[in-house]
A and B are shown apart, each in its own frame.
Chain A
């Protein structure tokens, strides 16, 4: 394991994660479709997970990897709930375009 890391280098992992995270951020900001927004959020989450794992190996410490398990479990639960909400929004409003969701207005 250590060899693989040595071959590629920790800084490349960091660059990859930053790029992935930014893709996620821009996805959240630009896309109107709620499912794509969701996917972008997942990309951001996984970018962070990858960084956890990379640093875990770099420091020879299992804590990071354990944390990722939790993170993935929470993400799975979140997706389940989020998709359920999306379904119910679609049933009620006939659209999942984020630009049309203006019911949060007080």
Chain B
């Protein structure tokens, strides 16, 4: 019973993918949308059912025996436990909402069927990633979501910039994937198994483990997580990935795929718990990423770019929590972030839709009246991400900062500054987009309208979730912590008793957020400042606007040398090699040309040659 349910959960999106790929074009747009959405809704329903009926014991399903080399076996197994159920809930739940949204958003697009096919395939791979019972099955999903991300970023492939962005995302992810793969190899050779449950068993039992190799494995796995979850130094693909359609940005590049790195670290928490030095690296990388990305977001003018850097920054905060071993807090922030960031992205999509493709905030403004629902939902989500009491973001971000405060003060300062900046840039975005007067063309102004209900309905649901999402883990009596408790063998995070320190930390965070909002209010609403044109940007702003020139630095220190090496090999090495090969060919050819002359077709000459040859042979034989 359970096996078939899980198979339905896994294969429903895949069937949707098959349908849309092979029959989608014929079936017509409305059927494509319905099938694509329903297949994910089915998964969501099954997840809800499993969630309601789950007991404490994880459900392990072994589908078939996959690889067997000597004493090393890999099964194609699935593992349903509290962690994968949590992830499944918001992947399929938010996935359903975004599919629903896409029906309206992509309706104009002639390739709507392939869009839904890719989205369904993405959900299938994401589910595989989440419910795989060993590292290899997880890796299948890991690569699959990377593929779908590539396909969807480059969905409008007629634009070369978008293709480049897709390639960049793919290659950056490959670097991380290589790290992940090496990590899998090391783990496999150390413990002779890749199953999560047996790994946990072995690592908790055995005392004399090779610490060095575990540390190397953990570091490699973390590099994989860096690639997928856009952490320094592999984060540059995520902002460029905004080239894809907005529902893709919301689903893949904000709510689900980019959290795969956090899922992986959480899944392998028993490995990371063994090596505190690697945990420190994770915390530092997370803290630095969150601060750097937040500063870049301060000056961006593309509405989606601001949200993209905000995503990188929030992911950094989650890694900060992971580095302190506070896995359940990271998971909590993943969930609330999925709610409000999906809402923000879908809201920005609604704005872009209303303005017929305009993404530059300098050409927006005053949309509050024309798009009241979009405005209201985005306002709630912005308040949530800024960490205003009592919205979802307040609770999760506050927990992370509180943990940081107890472990490492400098990182707490970094996280707090990043949070203040978050409040500032989010409200900069809100004021520039929705307040004051409209700055676009007359024609756009004429066409301004609220998006259809298929777009606003997901927005409303997500806004509600952003508002109330915090109740799943209130400090003091956290339902989420209790739910996830069986996963984590040691209690990594003692419940903070709410003392003076905690209340003052909350107060500091809230005041910081209000401060950020206040500065944005003063600058962009009262003074009505509009960010200057690209050419006029100077000083520090210019550095930030150009993203610290990280892309240019990568270009100079990696891409240029690689290109130079490639042209060296092409121009020198390959030329000489091919000269050798072609020379051999030329010699053979010349031999043939000369040899051909003997065969002149004259019977007399043939006879002569024949007789002489016979005489020579006989002479040789008998003398």
Chain A residues in the interface with B (C-beta under 8 A): 25, 28-29, 32, 37, 98-99, 101-106
Q: Given known contacts A28-B611, A29-B611, is B604 in contact with A103 (CB within 8 Å)? A: no
Shortest CB-to-CB span from A25 to chain B, Å, is: 6
Q: Is the CB of A98 within 8 A of B601?
A: no
| CA A32 to CA B611, docked complex, whole Å | 16
**Chain B residue nearest to A28 in the complex (CB):** B607
A-B contact pairs, 27 of them (CB 8 A): A25-B611, A28-B607, A28-B611, A29-B607, A29-B608, A29-B611, A32-B604, A37-B607, A98-B602, A98-B604, A99-B602, A99-B604, A101-B602, A101-B603, A101-B604, A102-B600, A102-B601, A102-B602, A103-B601, A104-B601, A104-B603, A104-B606, A105-B599, A105-B600, A105-B601, A106-B599, A106-B601
List which B579-623 residues lie within 8 A (CB) of chain A: 599-604, 606-608, 611
| CA A106 to CA B596, docked complex, whole Å | 9
18 further interface pairs, Cβ-Cβ under 8 Å (given A25-B611, A29-B611, A105-B600): A28-B607, A28-B611, A29-B607, A32-B604, A98-B602, A98-B603, A98-B604, A98-B607, A99-B602, A101-B603, A101-B604, A103-B601, A104-B602, A104-B603, A104-B606, A105-B601, A106-B599, A106-B601
Shortest CB-to-CB span from B597 to chain A, Å, is: 11
| CA A98 to CA B604, docked complex, whole Å | 6
**Chain B residue nearest to A31 in the complex (CB):** B604
Shortest CB-to-CB span from A78 to chain B, Å, is: 16
**Chain A residue nearest to B607 in the complex (CB):** A28
**Chain A residue nearest to B604 in the complex (CB):** A98
Residues of the B chain whose Cβ atoms lie less than 8 Å from the Cβ of A104: 601-603, 606
**Chain B residue nearest to A106 in the complex (CB):** B599
Shortest CB-to-CB span from B440 to chain A, Å, is: 79
| CA A102 to CA B603, docked complex, whole Å | 7
| CA A105 to CA B605, docked complex, whole Å | 12
Interface size on B, residues (CB 8 A): 10
Residues of the B chain whose Cβ atoms lie less than 8 Å from the Cβ of A105: 599-601
Residues of the B chain whose Cβ atoms lie less than 8 Å from the Cβ of A103: 601
Shortest CB-to-CB span from A30 to chain B, Å, is: 9
Residues of the A chain whose Cβ atoms lie less than 8 Å from the Cβ of B611: 25, 28-29
* B interface, over-half SS: helix
Residues of the B chain whose Cβ atoms lie less than 8 Å from the Cβ of A98: 602-604, 607
| CA A42 to CA B606, docked complex, whole Å | 19
| CA A32 to CA B605, docked complex, whole Å | 11
**Chain B residue nearest to A41 in the complex (CB):** B607
Residues of the A chain whose Cβ atoms lie less than 8 Å from the Cβ of B608: 29
Residues of the A chain whose Cβ atoms lie less than 8 Å from the Cβ of B603: 98, 101-102, 104
Residues of the A chain whose Cβ atoms lie less than 8 Å from the Cβ of B606: 104
**Chain B residue nearest to A104 in the complex (CB):** B601
Shortest CB-to-CB span from A93 to chain B, Å, is: 12
Sorted nearest first, the 5 A-B pairs with minimum C-beta distance are A105-B601, A102-B601, A101-B603, A98-B604, A104-B601
**Chain A residue nearest to B610 in the complex (CB):** A28
Residues of the A chain whose Cβ atoms lie less than 8 Å from the Cβ of B599: 105-106
Of the candidates B602, B604, B606, the one having the most CB atoms from chain A within 10 angstroms of its own CB is B604
| CA A32 to CA B599, docked complex, whole Å | 19
Residues of the A chain whose Cβ atoms lie less than 8 Å from the Cβ of B604: 32, 98-99, 101
Shortest CB-to-CB span from A84 to chain B, Å, is: 17
Shortest CB-to-CB span from B101 to chain A, Å, is: 74
| CA A52 to CA B608, docked complex, whole Å | 26
| CA A28 to CA B615, docked complex, whole Å | 14
**Chain A residue nearest to B602 in the complex (CB):** A102
| CA A104 to CA B601, docked complex, whole Å | 4
| CA A5 to CA B195, docked complex, whole Å | 102
| CA A28 to CA B604, docked complex, whole Å | 8
Shortest CB-to-CB span from B318 to chain A, Å, is: 77
Residues of the A chain whose Cβ atoms lie less than 8 Å from the Cβ of B601: 102-106
Residues of the B chain whose Cβ atoms lie less than 8 Å from the Cβ of A99: 602, 604
| CA A99 to CA B608, docked complex, whole Å | 12
Residues of the B chain whose Cβ atoms lie less than 8 Å from the Cβ of A28: 607, 611
**Chain A residue nearest to B608 in the complex (CB):** A29
| CA A105 to CA B596, docked complex, whole Å | 10
Residues of the A chain whose Cβ atoms lie less than 8 Å from the Cβ of B607: 28-29, 37, 98
Residues of the B chain whose Cβ atoms lie less than 8 Å from the Cβ of A29: 607-608, 611
| CA A37 to CA B606, docked complex, whole Å | 13
Residues of the B chain whose Cβ atoms lie less than 8 Å from the Cβ of A32: 604
**Chain A residue nearest to B615 in the complex (CB):** A25
Shortest CB-to-CB span from B531 to chain A, Å, is: 80
| CA A4 to CA B308, docked complex, whole Å | 120
| CA A99 to CA B600, docked complex, whole Å | 11
Shortest CB-to-CB span from A45 to chain B, Å, is: 15
List which B44-60 residues lie within 8 A (CB) of chain A: none
